[in-house]
Structure 1
Amino acid sequence: MSLKKKVVAGIAVTLSVMMGLAGCGGGNSATPKDDDSLMKVDVYDDLANYQGVQKGWFAKLVKDKFNLKLNYISPNVSGGGSTTFDTRSAAGNLGDIIITGAGNGRLNKLIRSKLVDDMTPYLNGMDSIKKYKNATDNLNKVAGQSSGVWGVPMSVSTKAPDQPSEGNEPVFGPYIRWDLYKKLGYPEIKNMDDFLDVLKQEQDLARKETGDNSIYAISLFKDWDGNMMNNIKQPICYYGYDEMGFVLAAVDGHDYQSVTQKDGMYDKTLAWFNKANQEGLVDPESSTQNFDTLTTKYKNGKVLFSFWSYLGPAQYNTTDHKKQGVGFMVAPLQNMKIVSYGATPNGTGSFIGLGSKARNKQRLVKFINWLYSNEGAYAMAGNVKGMNYDIKDGKPVLTDFGKKLQNDQSATVPKEFGGGSWSDGQPQLNFKSVNATDIDPTTGEDYSSTDWKSVIEEFNNSPLEQDWSGHMGGAKTTMEYLEKNNMLAVAPGAGYIQPDEDSQISTLRGSIKTEIVNDSWKAVFAKSDDEFQKIVDGMRTQTDGLGMKQVLDFDMKNAKDQDKARKAILKEYANREKNEGSSK
């Protein structure tokens, strides 16, 4: 499964089961008057990685504002797959609030089986939802509906679709321990072969300095494997490609490759990881550890290369480390063209909706509306006014507690804001209503504190960042460096949603992806070039015999349709801006 998605893998639900529920009620039937008492809300959430009742500061915020207690039902925690969805759907009540994907015909099925309700009767005064009418209308097209508000898409944005949705750090990037790179004399990194040489030198140096031979340049995990081995795909994103099923598609539309293509991007990257393993650079626990275990290793300085900005840098670059000149920074890989997901004016393929059997629907819609307000957007980005930030001279600044969080995200929240650790109290929805890097019109700055001018000046000017900047042309942030050097491949934010996949394709895909993932892991840990080649050649033969061409044709069409959607959203946004400009 790709990173961006840990999101919903399209879950097939048979039409016969869903349509059998059509008489179970729901729709816009009359609901009892809201009694204002504390209400436990079942949130069916395909994106959540947490099950149970929300805790901490976000729980207190929601209780104080709406007298709601959020109880998460998370398939990711309860075993994955479609079991939870199918069981609750068959019972006629998926949840009071529903967070899932609209793709593969899912939203259409939810509407027809009366598991999700139209919010229209409850939208009086709900200006934040109405603000994103273009997004909800687009969701209707996906669901085949001519009217109604059946859900509000995730990550809606007012930015142009060809503008990066990330802040100062992209999602993807070759992040290395910069302090070790400095000690090596800043060797040139022309390509991935050079990069591997640098990682080998870093590992040797780190082990020599610490005497700890459990430090590895590279460490992997299996949790997010889907159509391919997830970790193999990540460096491919450094060269402008992203996945669509079994297709690796250049985000500018110039190239489309099968994941099993001989000498293709996946093939070459798989060989790169095998070479790293043969040189002793890959953690031998990679095939048995999970993401949480790996996160702890980064926090403890046990891994030297991070695929993503939110892993190595987020876990290791504490204020104390940065003051010592120690931490992860993006490497100057000269031929990279890093994928950046563009802002999504119409949101993404995931949405939040109203369960048809919910009580007190007006209150729930008020809560959903709040998620899309300025205050809600700040909260979903982890910021609460008075708790960890305030406004000074019209600009957001961190409070003393907010500054403490820069070094320790497990710091204890003040009692008046709910107590407990800040990290434990974060919203467990795993659903970003508004793009966190969108601009709050009242301050002119992002909802995300990492991009505030005041934060950059105080916390992004450590000896670590100063040294990095001095060797990266004076750039103050990774995004600035990439933009200045034409090293970004922005995928316009179309929010493309894949069509329904028939059962035959799904069955074939299941067998093929199992073969690809299993053989990829074997190939990484092959002990010789000959063994490696035998494994990948066998993978191609096996997947061809399992019906690869049929599934690949389906994925290839989707990849090309996605490119059309990206071009269309650019045109749509330009026309929208033109019309809004002429009406002023």
Structure 2
Amino acid sequence: MIRKKAVLLMVSMIMIFVVAGCSGNNSGKTEPTATSSARTEGEKEQATPDAGQNKEPVKLSFYYSNVPLKTEGRQTDEVMLELEKRLGVEIDFINQNTDRFKLMMASRELPDIMVVFDQDYKQLIEGGLILPLDDLIQSKGKDIAKNAEALDYYRQYLSSDTGKLYLLPMQVGATKEMVADVPYADYGAGYLTRWDYYKELGFPEIKSPDDLLAVLKAMQEKHPTTADGKKVYGVSSFVDKAGWGLWPFYIQMSLSQGYMEGAGNYLIDADNNFYNFLANEEGAFWDSMKYFFKANQMGLLDPESFIQNLDQYQNKQTNLQVLSGIGAWWQAGANEALADIPDAGFVTLPMENHYVYKTNVSIIGKAGRAFAIAKNSKNPEKAMEVLNYLYSNEGMNLLSRGIQGKHWDIVDNQAAYTDSFLKARVNVDEAEKIGVTKYALIYGLSDYTVNSDEGIAFDLNSESSIESTDWKGYQLDYAKHYGGEYPGDAIEKMADQGKIKISLFDTSGGVAVGTPPDDIKRIDDSIKDYMWKAMPKVILAKSEADYETEKKNVINELNKLGLDKSKEYWDKVWQQSINRVKK
């Protein structure tokens, strides 16, 4: 999800960190003459915990976020190895898996450090599975403590009425105003498709999802199979009931209409208008059901969309069996496979008079997720040191910029990436080995916030560094077609011309909607279970009339299951949470 799964563009993830959100705070792209990796004076003031000479590193486990690392276990990229050396730790990363996490909670054997999600907050706190953190912050969390407003908010509204701090906000400090004018290298979420195939068709006009389906059909007719004979589909999806949920079946339509997802089967726009997407018969969810229905009618829909898991879905993308995608982070393998084909690669196609998603921010932390330390941790103090480092100037510099003197340095009193790093990061494998922005999902502070020692945002992707990127041919061709110098520039110029709209969300209103009471949770769980059975019937309906009949049956059944009661509850808590933030 963009709120909870991804950030969303969040951004862009590990495989495409080169197209992450960009800040225009420096203009230098000159290779620095300094070769020393010594830290700046400001960084020296941020006391790195003494790793100690000849001491055995402390072993910690870290339950990672929802977009998985390529491999679990210890990471060998330059950034994480440097972090481990500075802190005297060895970190074993565990990718998020909802079913596995349930077993962990049941056994009360949890990883030391965790990224946890809002549906589990109540059980973790009330079940005594995570530690209250106030004392640890006082002794080991001086950088975390600087975010007093966000911490107080979490104590008051995300503590199961204990008034204690169990959860730490993530990616704290950014506002929409900070990000609105920041240039983006690329926009990587929405309706993505192959640029070479679109160009082959003569760039047909796309003003609606129906236009897009027509384009995908024309592509499929020209390219019905892959090079090795596998059937090609226009549209595909996947099933992850406990994790991603219904998200992959509605998010593209939602983003194109200017909405992103929130707790309780809700969509919310940039102005904090919200609605229950199952209850709104004319909204993005049902529009998306119609899109999938039409795709199936046209022979575009992958028939395994309702049974395959995320790995299988992504393998099909990488194998070039699918002509469209949801997010650039899932298209990285496909783009690598297309590297030797002129003008071939997946891009976000702008749909006229529709929205293109930029990002979401929150001054009090990302909605729906937080850091926690397990009660069963044998080294809670060291776990807190690691978390505190993620909120420090030094730690944020390392994760978002890399090692000073190697990946970035101070040039003419400005922080700037080195030319060697800018060249290296274009290659996916090299980017993985380096690790800069690989851990964007576990930043303590937003990278749009300013390093308090330098007065410069942590994110160094200025317009000049974006322009100096070694762009692929398809990216430059895409940009030129839409009137830009690089992909993000093209999107922004189209927005300036009024052809499309760019959406930027403040998700602070969703931070404290909380976990529903047991009766509402039972209703919501019943609704989710029912939707997984009902959704295929709607999408696979044999005719337009059958589609309308199945849709009507679903809405009637949802009401019988208590959708109206669930909606009444969530309407109230959403408005309360938004009102708190406005204060």
Shorter chain as normaliser: what TM range?
Answer: 0.7 to 0.9
**Aligned counterpart, 1:507:** 522
Cα shift at 1:270: 0.6
Q: Which of 216, 232, 242 is matched with 2:260 structurally?
A: 242
SS at match of 2:92: strand
2:97 to 69, 72, 76: 76
86 and 122 in structure 1: CA distance in 2 versus 1, 3 angstrom threshold: same
**Aligned partners of 1:136 and 1:153 also within 8 Å:** yes
Q: Which residue of 2 aligns with 1:330?
A: 348
What is residue 309 of structure 1 aligned with on the other side? 328
From 108, 116, 121, the counterpart of 1:100 = 116
Q: Distance in 2 between matches of 1:229 and 1:343?
A: 20
Q: In the alignment, is the contact (CA less than 8 A) between 2:237 and 2:248 conserved in 1?
A: no
Alpha-carbon offset, residue 427 of structure 1: 6.6
Distance 2:136 2:286 in 1: 53
SS at match of 1:188: coil
Please state if 1:345 is matched with 2:359: no
CA distance in 2, matches of 1:540, 1:147: 40
| Cα deviation 1:475-494 (Å, max 9, x = unaligned) | 63435246423612322231
Aligned ranges for residues 28-47 of structure 1 at < 5 Å? 37-44=56-63, 47=66
Secondary structure of the residue aligned to 1:491 is strand
2:504 equivalent in structure 1: 490
Aligned to 1:432: 443
Secondary structure, aligned partner of 1:116: coil
Equivalent residue, structure 2, for 1:18: none
Please give the alpha-carbon distance, in whole angstroms, between the structure 2 residues aligned to 1:114 and 1:268: 41
The SS at the match of 1:152 is: coil
1:305-362 residue CA offsets vs partner (Å, 9 max, x unmatched): 22223222x3344598399322122213112123444321111242223445545544
Deviates more, 1:266-275 or 1:294-303: 294-303
Q: Report the Cα offset of residue 153 of structure 1.
A: 0.8
Equivalent residues of 1:134, 1:346 under 8 A apart:
yes
Counterpart among 93, 97, 107 of residue 87 in structure 1: 107
Return 5+ residue gaps in structure 1 as ranges.
8-33, 414-421, 573-584
Whole-Å separation in 2 of the counterparts to 1:186 and 1:430: 35
Distance 1:184 1:282, change over 3 A: same
**SS state at 1:71 partner:** strand
Matched, 1:272 2:291: yes
- What's the offset of the Cα at 1:408? 3.0
2-side partners of 1:86 and 1:75: how far apart? 16
Seen in structure 2, the aligned counterparts of structure 1 residues 157 and 324 have a Cα distance that, compared at 3 Å, is: farther
Which ranges in structure 2 are unaligned for 5 or more consecutive residues? 7-51
Give the equivalent residue in structure 2 for 1:4: 3
Contact 2:276–2:567, Cα closer than 8 Å, also in 1: no
Structure 1 counterpart of 2:24: none
Q: Deviations over 1:49-108 (max 9, x none)?
A: 47963231355334311222223466616x2463322331xxxx645334324667638x
**How far apart are 1:301 and its partner, in Å?**
2.9
Moved more, 183-192 or 378-387: 378-387
Question: In structure 2, what residue type is equivalent to 1:367?
Answer: V
Displacement of 1:208: 8.2
Higher deviation after alignment, 340-349 or 51-60? 51-60
Give the stretch that moved more between structures: 432-441 or 234-243.
432-441
Residue from 218, 221, 233 that aligns with 2:235: 218
Selected match of 2:189 from 143, 167, 172: 172
TM-score of the superposed pair, with normalisation by structure 1: 0.77
Identity level (%): 21
Offset, 1:157: 2.5
Residue of structure 2 in register with 1:575 after alignment: none
Preserved contact between residue 354 and residue 361 of structure 1 (Cα < 8 Å): yes
Distance 1:429 1:98, change over 3 A: farther
1:530 to 545, 562, 568: 545
Q: Distance in 2 between matches of 1:502 and 1:371?
A: 33
Map residues 120-519 of structure 1 onto 2, 5 A cutoff. 120=135, 123=138, 126-143=141-158, 150-160=166-176, 163=179, 167-170=184-187, 172-207=189-224, 212=229, 214-223=231-240, 228=246, 230-244=248-262, 245-254=264-273, 256-312=275-331, 314-318=332-336, 321=339, 324-349=342-367, 350-356=369-375, 358-381=377-400, 383-385=402-404, 389=408, 394-398=414-418, 400=420, 403-409=423-429, 413=433, 430-440=441-451, 447=458, 451-453=461-463, 455-459=465-469, 461-474=471-484, 476-478=486-488, 480-481=492-493, 483-484=495-496, 485=498, 487-494=501-508, 495-519=510-534
Question: Which whole-Å CA distance do the structure 1 matches of 2:173 and 2:425 have between them?
Answer: 27
C-alpha distance in 1, partners of 2:240/2:216?
24
**Superposed CA RMSD:** 4.0
- Work out which structure has the larger RCO, using CA pairs closer than 8 Å and 6 or more positions apart in sequence: 2
CA distance in 2: counterparts of 1:120 and 1:135, whole angstroms: 17
Where 2:372 maps in the other structure, the secondary structure is strand
**Alignment partner for residue 60 of structure 1, among 59, 75, 81?**
81
Greater alpha carbon shift after TM alignment, 369-378 vs 400-409: 400-409
The answer for the alignment partner of 2:33 in structure 1 is: none
The Cα of 1:187 is off from its aligned counterpart by 1.4
- Name the TM-score, length of structure 2 as normaliser: 0.77
Q: Secondary structure at the match of 2:468?
A: helix
Between the two proteins, the alignment pairs up a number of residues equal to 526
Q: Which residue of 2 aligns with 1:15?
A: none
Cα distance change of structure 1 residues 562 and 279 upon mapping to structure 2, 3 Å threshold? farther
